[in-house]
Each structure stands twice: as structure tokens, then as C-alpha cells.
Amino acid sequence: MPKPVLSKRDFVRRYSAGEFGNAALTWDNVASYLSSSYQGLVHLRSRQKGESTLYNQSREQVNTRYYKPGEDWYVSGMCPHHRGTIQGEVQQGLWGLDLTWTTGKLPMRQALASHSNYSQWLKATNLLRCSMNDLSYRWLQWLFEAYPNHVVEFTCLNTCWGTVPGHNTIFWEVRKY
């Protein structure tokens, strides 16, 4: 069984290595992103818990506004949120799943801040089963087994997208911190 994810820095290292399954294309730092040929919009994420995330950034914006050697950013491709169906945070509760979710077609923090719902047990399971394709749902089950008592952040899409073919769900974060 993998070790628990107890810090944001540890999570980012493991996320970048693909440990948690389907993800957005990710670069470990701004310099790596800028040396890539990727031309789509990205978001800059901090390795520090609770820090800001900058969404919908172009290559030019990243290069001119945010690139400072030594800063603790990592970079991920922007998810096609216009293709989103449901997103949120889920964890195993005492009697089943606890799910905070939204159907907002924005980056998750923004969508949850504008309108969120809470579901438990059978309703939470049904929402996820109806939104995730079989590969994604089975992967979620594996995450729960491998990382007990962790929160899993996810975005489901009406298409397959991300680093692992055949999955319609991006797993943004797995954490116990």
C-alpha cells in the first residue's frame, strides 16, 4: 500500500509522477513548461497548501508575469471545463461516500464557491457512477483502497481527456492534510 499523502509538496511530487491516475498534462516547474512546445492554456498551482491558483494563463502570461526563478509553482494544462458534467471532492465516510459537488463549468475552486451541493451514501455513489465511465470509477475505488481516509478531488467530463487514455475523469488531488 502506498504511503499516505500528508503534505502538498509530497502530493505534487507524486502527482507529477502519475501516481494518482488520470491527470492534466503537468510540468514540475515554470521553466520546464516554458521549454515545452505546449501551446494551450494552463493553470499555475502552488506547492503550498491554501495558496492561489492562477487559471487560464497563456504561455505569454506565464513567461512575462509569473516566471521568477525559485518560485514554487507547478503548471498543468487547463481542463476543458465546458465539457464538464460534475466535479468536487469525495471521501469515504463512516456509512459510505461523502461528496461535495457542483455542475459548474468553471475551474473547481470557482465552481464550488459559486454553487455546491452535498450528497452522502447511495446518492453520492449514484452520482459518481452516472458521471464516471467504468475505467474512471474503478480507478476511484482503487484510490479509496490505496489511500484510506483521503479526500479525492476530481472533474468528470463528457469526453475522455487527460494523461491516461479511456478515462473521462481527472483526479486533481488525493490528500490527507
64-109 residue pLDDT tens: 876 665 568 889 999 999 999 999 999 999 889 999 999 999 999 8
Same domain, 73 and 29: yes
Which pLDDT value is given to residue 18?
93
Angle, in degrees to the nearest 10, between helices 134-146 and 121-131: 130
Same domain, 101 and 137: yes
> In terms of residue numbers, what domain contains 69?
25-77
- Compute the distance between CA of residue 173 and CA of residue 20 in angstroms, rounded to an integer: 8
Same domain, 158 and 101: yes
Q: Is 84 left (phi over 0), alpha (psi -120 to 50) or beta?
A: beta
Measured CA distances, 100 to 19, 31, 174 (Å)? 23, 35, 15
Which pLDDT value is given to residue 58?
96
Q: How many helices (H) and strands (E) does the chain have?
A: 6, 9
Which pLDDT value is given to residue 121?
93
User: Which grid cell is 11?
Assistant: 502530493
Same domain, 107 and 55: no
In a domain, 3, yes or no: no
Rounded percentage of the chain residues whose pLDDT exceeds 70 = 97
In a domain, 1, yes or no: no
